[in-house]
Amino acid sequence: MKSVAGGADTRKARWEREVLEPTLKKSPERKGPFTTISGRPIERLYTAEDTEAIDYDRDVANPGEFPYTRGIHPTGYRGKLWTMRQFAGFGTPEETNQRYKDLIAAGGTGLSVAFDLPTLMGRDPDHPLSLGEVGKCGVSIVSLKDMERLFDGIPLDDPKITTSMTINSPASMIFAMYLVVAEQHGADWTKISGTIQNDILKEFIAQKEYIFPPRQSMRLITDIFAFCSKEVPKWNTISVSGYHIREAGSTSLQELAFTLRDGLEYVQYGVDAGLDVDDFVPRLSFFFNSHSDFFEEIAKYRAARKLWAEAMKNRFGAKNPRSWQLRFHTQTAGVSLTAQQPYNNVVRTALQALAAVLGGTNSLHTNSLDEALALPTKETATIALRTQQIIAHESGVTNVVDPLGGSYFIERLTREMEEGTLKYWETIDRMGGMVEAIERGYPQQEVAEASYQFQQAVERGEKTIVGVNDFVQTDEKPIEILYIDDTTANRQLERLEDLKRTRDNDAVRRTLGALKDGARGAANTMPLLLDCVRAYATVGEMCDALREVWGEYEEVPVI
Amino acid sequence: MSQKIRVVIAKPGLDGHDRGAKVIARALRDAGMEVIYTGLRQTPEMIVAATLQEDADVIGLSILSGAHMHICPRVMELLKEKGLDDVQVVIGGIIPDIDIPKLNAIGIRGIFIPGTPMQQIIDFITANARARV
């Protein structure tokens, strides 16, 4: 890309010869390696020569203009700050409900539900695999009754506080519960907004909370797209997630490439199901990680917007600018937090949050300092939220749109992220698409390899983790953590028994039967699930009904 | 004649976060051990059955979900039932300080929290695995 044609002496080459070389002779650089946390080599200096191939109008453009590299809003954060959406959930629905009320009182502007593993895996608390897991990593939601408790006193028709739900395999079941609770609150489905994660592809790639095989899982998702485009038009039907891919050990580039390619797969499946691109793509949103390498992350977000806009316009022929505009939530990197010297995690999180903001995130979660040890306490969750408020209201970075735009380094890095992504897309396209690539274990293998390489770099001391492999402290005092005992499990078990005694079990059988029939055929599963939910069928029962028809997915583990 | 140490790496419970399990499986293999990775969602019964079948000397459990105080005692109980008392059980994951003495008390001494160097785990296993006869 650099034009050094005919051996002409560029400015940078002259500088290297006349200024740099004598300096290096006198005082050599540190040992390095000078690479990002993802292993990408970084040069010591970037100049105008590194961005010669970039055309401002075509590749960067002003904010609010295609391809949106500098942002989707012309006013950036001067118009509206990002949504401060803290992911939270533990124990019983009542305990989590209280935490939400605390977060709103502390100035949080969105809710984000963390479910426990039995809920995420479509198992009731009385299933043998639920042993010891109920209410531990999130809130336990068994039936509509729990959803009613979770949102008690929280108005679901308030456009100022929207809710995001991190649920994937049983996304349609939980979404159906939310819709029924919204109805009970008197909210109009055509007016409510919120998000379900509903991204099964990254579950197969990274987080592994899958239930059904890939193709049946994709059908549940296109059913939601179709249902929402008519019934709940403002709902964000999917949050295509790179977060978990990154946490599983991918590089920054792999996170970007696989996540956007997952997005393309969903769009393709929607189109194949007969939907018009501009009817459902504007409701797709994204979710990225913000890891510790500051500039690489910022370049990632900028490249993401450009890649998506161009793919929607050129690959799918989308005409509505809202289909081109990539909106995303960011969470700071949980995996970067250390159990050692946990207060250092506040600093890590602040830097990662700043990168997300400089990259133009639309919504942000900041992790708490104790998350390598346990779920956060009320106090640590508050510090995490305050971190965002300090960036928003004290640092001054929100005064200007895309402050790093035009930086030789950032623009060059953005271009490199884009080119690397296009290469990954070519490979995946050749395999026939992301579903096929996953079935071959391709992205899984790429992530496992990157994760091992990083660990090796840490072991060799090439990558420093403060307090872990350097600057170690031996006289640490333990901090107080949130400890979840078995009270929740016992309570939820009692409630499940009680539910099965008091509900209309004929209605449950009837609606579950209709769900199975629908799943065998081509009916949209959403209305059938709404009937099951209204009859107080449990998450486990609804998932079991579909397991019976579709079977379960089992992966071949890749080390 | 020395024989390779045989290690079963298992992910019990419902959690799918397998980054740690996979990295340690590969590190132990690179350190010369024979590693059997069970994959996800293993019950204690499945793990002990795999240990018996594979004639393993060590079980490495990766648990991040908080279910360790249910899973570990059950694994230890089943090992005793099958006469596999000499199999060394180690855990890696998110284990609160207050649970460590309780795990020590049921015979689990190798407890590795986030940030533990791989070499430390390799050394512990090498020093503590039962002698192969």
- CB A83 within 8 Å of CB A110: yes
Q: A1 pLDDT band (50/70/90 cuts)?
A: very low
Strand partners, A240: A286
Q: Which of A303-312, A354-363, A371-380, A410-419 has the lowest mean pLDDT?
A: A371-380
B contacts of A120 (beta carbons < 8 Å): 14
Locate the chain A residue with the closest alpha carbon to B119: A459
pLDDT of residue A8: 65
Measure the CA–CA gap between A277 and A210, rounded to whole angstroms.
27
pLDDT in tens, B60-113: 999 999 899 999 999 999 999 999 999 999 999 999 999 999 999 999 999 999
- CB A311 within 8 Å of CB A260: yes
Chain A touched by B50 (CB under 8 Å) = no
B22 to chain A nearest CA, in Å? Answer: 5
Cα–Cα nearest to B116, from A248, A375, A340, A477 = A340
- CB A116 within 8 Å of CB A89: yes
Average pLDDT of A74-101?
95
- CB A237 within 8 Å of CB A220: no
pLDDT in tens, A157-216: 887 888 999 999 999 999 999 999 999 999 999 999 999 999 999 999 999 999 999 999
pLDDT of residue A109: 85
Residue B132 pLDDT exceeds 90: no
Share of chain A above pLDDT 90, in %: 91
Measure the CA–CA gap between A83 and A362, rounded to whole angstroms.
6
Residue A271 pLDDT exceeds 90: yes
A373 to chain B nearest CA, in Å? Answer: 6
Q: Which residue has the higher pLDDT, A45 or B133?
A: A45
Q: How many CB pairs under 8 A join A and B?
A: 108
Residues A172, A178, A181, A186, Cα dihedral to 10°: -110
pLDDT in tens, A13-72: 999 999 999 999 999 999 889 999 999 999 999 999 999 999 999 999 999 999 999 999
* CATH code that applies to domain B6-128: 3.40.50.280
Q: Which residue has the higher pLDDT, A485 or A48?
A: A48
Question: Is the dihedral angle over the CA atoms A445, A446, A447, A449 positive or is it negative?
Answer: positive
First to last CA, chain A: 37
pLDDT of residue A538: 98
Q: A7 pLDDT band (50/70/90 cuts)?
A: low
Of A136, A373, A459, the CB nearest to B65: A136
Average pLDDT of A390-401?
98
Q: B123 pLDDT band (50/70/90 cuts)?
A: very high
pLDDT in tens, A326-368: 999 999 999 999 999 999 999 999 999 999 999 999 999 999 9
One-letter amino acid of A320: N
Average pLDDT of A464-489?
92
pLDDT of residue A159: 79
Measure the CA–CA gap between A4 and A43, rounded to whole angstroms.
17
Q: B133 pLDDT band (50/70/90 cuts)?
A: low
Measure the CA–CA gap between A485 and B39, rounded to whole angstroms.
27
Measure the CA–CA gap between A126 and A282, rounded to whole angstroms.
40
Q: Is the ipTM here above 0.90?
A: yes
Q: How many CB atoms lie within 10 A of CB A430?
A: 10
Decide if B66 and A448 are in contact by the 8 Å CB cutoff. Answer: no
Please give the mean pLDDT across all residues of chain A: 95
Instruction: Report the run of H or E that residue B44 belongs to, with start and end.
Output: helix B44-54
Residue B12 pLDDT exceeds 90: yes
Measure the CA–CA gap between A204 and B120, rounded to whole angstroms.
31
Decide if B115 and A452 are in contact by the 8 Å CB cutoff. Answer: no
Share of chain A above pLDDT 70, in %: 99
B contacts of A128 (beta carbons < 8 Å): 43
B contacts of A451 (beta carbons < 8 Å): 19, 22-23
- CB A216 within 8 Å of CB A176: no
pLDDT of residue A423: 98
HSE of A72, CA atoms in CB hemisphere, 13 A: 21
B49 to chain A nearest CA, in Å? Answer: 17
Decide if B118 and A455 are in contact by the 8 Å CB cutoff. Answer: yes
Of A130, A248, A459, the CB nearest to B19: A248
pLDDT in tens, B27-42: 999 999 999 999 999 9
Average pLDDT of A434-458?
95
Token output for A189: 């489905």
Decide if A557 and B96 are in contact by the 8 Å CB cutoff. Answer: no
Residue found under tokens 């271009």: A415
pLDDT of residue A160: 82
B contacts of A338 (beta carbons < 8 Å): 114-115
Cα–Cα nearest to A361, from A310, A300, A314 = A300
A307 to chain B nearest CA, in Å? Answer: 28
pLDDT of residue A79: 96
Chain B touched by A459 (CB under 8 Å) = yes
Measure the CA–CA gap between A47 and A12, rounded to whole angstroms.
7
Chain A touched by B39 (CB under 8 Å) = yes
Cα–Cα nearest to B108, from B74, B64, B83 = B74
* Residues recorded for chain A: 559
Residue B1 pLDDT exceeds 50: no
Residues A65, A70, A73, A79, Cα dihedral to 10°: -140
Cα–Cα nearest to A323, from A273, A267, A243 = A267
Restricting to A residues 238-277, those with a Cβ less than 8 Å away from any Cβ of B are 247-249
Measure the CA–CA gap between A283 and A318, rounded to whole angstroms.
13
Provide CB contacts within 8 A for A325, sequence distance 6+: A68, A72, A282, A305, A309
Residue A471 pLDDT exceeds 50: yes
- Selected for mutation to probe chain A from B8, B22, B29, B123 (highest A CB count within 10 Å) is B22
- CB B103 within 8 Å of CB B72: yes
* Residues recorded for chain B: 133
Of B41, B66, B119, the CB nearest to A137: B66
- CB A143 within 8 Å of CB A538: yes
Residue found under tokens 């193709």: A215
Q: B2 pLDDT band (50/70/90 cuts)?
A: low
Restricting to B residues 61-120, those with a Cβ less than 8 Å away from any Cβ of A are 65-71, 94, 96-98, 113-115, 117-119
Of A131, A249, A555, the CB nearest to B70: A131
pTM confidence score: 0.95
B contacts of A558 (beta carbons < 8 Å): 22
pLDDT of residue A2: 46
- CB A171 within 8 Å of CB A211: no
Of A136, A203, A451, the CB nearest to B23: A451
DSSP state string for A102-171: HHHHTT--EEEEEBPHHHHTT--TTSGGGTTTTTTSSB---SHHHHHHHTTT--TT-TTSEEEEE--TTH
Chain A touched by B36 (CB under 8 Å) = no
Residue A3 pLDDT exceeds 50: no
Locate the chain A residue with the closest alpha carbon to B29: A559
The DSSP symbol for A197 reads -
Residue A4 pLDDT exceeds 60: no
Measure the CA–CA gap between A167 and A175, rounded to whole angstroms.
9
The DSSP symbol for A212 reads S
